Amino acid sequence: MEYNTAVLTGCAQFVLLCFIGIKAAEPSGDGGGWSSDSGFRLQDEGDCNIDILDGFSLSHQQFIARYAYSRPVILRGLTDNTRFRSLCSKASLLEEYGACKVRLSTANTFSYRKVDIPLQEYVDDLLRPQSADALGSETLYFFGDNNFTEWQSLFEQYESPPYVLPRTSGAYSFGIAGPGTGVPFHWHGPGYSEVIYGRKRWFLYPPDREPHFHPNRTTLSWLRDTYPHLPEEEAPLECTIRPGEVLYFPDRWWHATLNLDTSVFISTFLG
């Protein structure tokens, strides 16, 4: 599951769900070299029924009162991570950390299996589009479980969202994943998610509305097989976030993610 309790210190619509091969730039400009060689991306960003606000228009007090304990929100321009984004380009990351081992987890609700391989090997051999028919237990996903000592110099350059909850501190989880990958529905404590490169589609339900899903089926298969048939009253909150946008999710909210492009992303968990 997309969760890391350690404090970091550092090495569709249904008809549009299928992969469409196109040679194009990342949707928000420079893709940092992470566009897949095949050019595959998921085209459908879906609807957005989550509030989107400019960071400067929301005070910390307003954030606490309106969103912190009750509903998700997407904030734009909250921080300036231009430097961090540059360091997360494919060339920069592989030059600095290609030989470092990263821990991969299976992309199912409980992330049963862990595998350690060099980052270069992960990028060369496993960072590819995912089939909708693949099981979560068959898909290895790099997110979290970072070696904090080896990666410290990179994470020191990240400017985390300034709005924190009382009596909490932030813990980072960093990841890289191919189009069609993601983690099926799960829940944990509150936090933020930011995309550095690519796009990530989110689906969320409040704690008292457990979604219908199979813990070993991927988000992509759920989107293909279940999402189109949901009655209106069972539809999730959803939105696709891009670089420069930060999504906040409250405590114990169910959520599933789907990377529409080869994506680089970081979460700040508040615990």
Q: What is the Cα–Cα distance from 193 to 269, expressed in whole angstroms? A: 9
Predicted local distance difference test score (pLDDT) of residue 51? 98
pLDDT at residue number 262: 95
CA atoms within 13 A on the CB side of 3: 20
**Per-residue burial over 212-231, b = 16 or more CB atoms within 10 Å of its CB, e = otherwise:** ebbebbbbbbbbbeebeeee
Which pLDDT score, from 0 to 100, does residue 36 have? 59
Q: What per-residue confidence (pLDDT) applies to 4? A: 38
pLDDT for the residue 26: 37
Q: What is the pLDDT of residue 139?
A: 82
pLDDT of the chain, 271 residues: tens digit per residue = 433 333 333 343 333 333 333 223 334 457 899 985 555 678 889 999 999 999 889 999 999 999 999 999 999 999 999 999 999 999 999 999 999 999 998 877 766 688 999 999 999 999 988 888 888 777 888 988 777 778 899 999 999 999 999 999 988 999 999 999 998 999 999 999 999 999 999 999 999 999 999 888 899 999 999 999 999 999 999 999 999 999 999 999 999 999 999 999 999 999 8
Question: What is the predicted pLDDT for the residue at 37?
Answer: 56
pLDDT confidence of residue 19 = 37
Count of CB atoms within 10 A of residue 29's CB?
9
Joined together, the tokens standing for residue 1 give: 């599951």
Alpha carbon distance 233, 235 (integer Å) = 6
User: How far from chain centre, in Å, is Cα 205?
Assistant: 16
The pLDDT score that the predictor gives to residue 41 is: 76
Tokens of 214: 């199979």
- Is residue 238 within 8 Å of 185, Cβ to Cβ? no
- Best CA proximity match to 243, nearest among 220, 269, 266, 268: 266
| 0.95 surpassed by pTM | no
